[in-house]
């Protein structure tokens, strides 16, 4: 009987370890830096639409792999949905691929609707948010959370800031 219980206890432990690992993976993309995929630049007049669409999704639940309001969002799913709705842009699905498809800008060049990337899993571009101005961004933060506004100077995010990027045309 002891061997039987130990066998199932070990399987249960492995199952929980797998579940925890998946939850911790959050919305991570591949983290690899690829050459730009050459997406067409979005006209700058869509910036406010991007911000308003993102703000309208505040409170939506986090769901790993989520891509829509009814089921919830992960970080890259939120960005993908917002840009599709607000600007008709079809972005790559993962945070890493979104970074690769966008143009790097300096942090001081950030404007509303630009993307901010963070190293939250020990690899670049594993989390993404939409910059809304005044040092704030909208993101789907993690398992059990909801779409919310965070600040760039929040100690968690400021230590993990990776890059600022844009999909918008130059002025």
Residues classed as catalytic: 75, 127, 139
- Spatial contact of 26 and 143, defined as CB atoms under 8 Å apart: yes
Alpha helices in 26-154 (DSSP H): 47-56, 75-87, 95-101
- Spatial contact of 165 and 102, defined as CB atoms under 8 Å apart: yes
Could you say which DSSP state residue 44 is in?
A: G
Phi, psi (rounded to 5 degrees) for 115: -105, 145
- Spatial contact of 112 and 132, defined as CB atoms under 8 Å apart: yes
Closest by alpha carbon to 79, among 99, 107, 106, 103?
Answer: 99
Continuous segment of H or E residues that includes residue 49:
helix 47-56
Query: Could you give the 3-state DSSP secondary structure of residue 45?
Result: helix
């Amino acid at each position: 009987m002891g061997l039987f219980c130990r066998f199932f206890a070990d399987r249960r432990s492995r199952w929980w370890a797998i579940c925890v690992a998946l939850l911790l993976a959050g919305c991570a993309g591949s983290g690899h830096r690829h050459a730009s995929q050459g997406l067409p630049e979005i006209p700058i007049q869509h910036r406010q639409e991007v911000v308003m669409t993102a703000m309208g999704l505040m409170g939506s639940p986090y769901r790993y792999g989520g891509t829509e309001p009814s089921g919830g969002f992960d970080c890259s799913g939120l960005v993908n949905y917002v840009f599709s709705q607000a600007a008709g842009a079809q972005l790559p699905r993962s945070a890493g691929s979104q970074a690769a498809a966008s143009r790097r800008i300096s942090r001081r060049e950030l404007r509303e609707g630009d993307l901010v990337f963070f190293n939250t899993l020990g690899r670049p571009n594993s989390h993404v948010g939409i910059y809304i101005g005044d040092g704030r961004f909208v993101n789907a933060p993690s398992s059990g959370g909801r779409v919310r506004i965070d600040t760039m100077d929040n100690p968690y995010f400021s230590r993990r800031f990776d890059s600022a990027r844009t999909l918008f045309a130059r002025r």
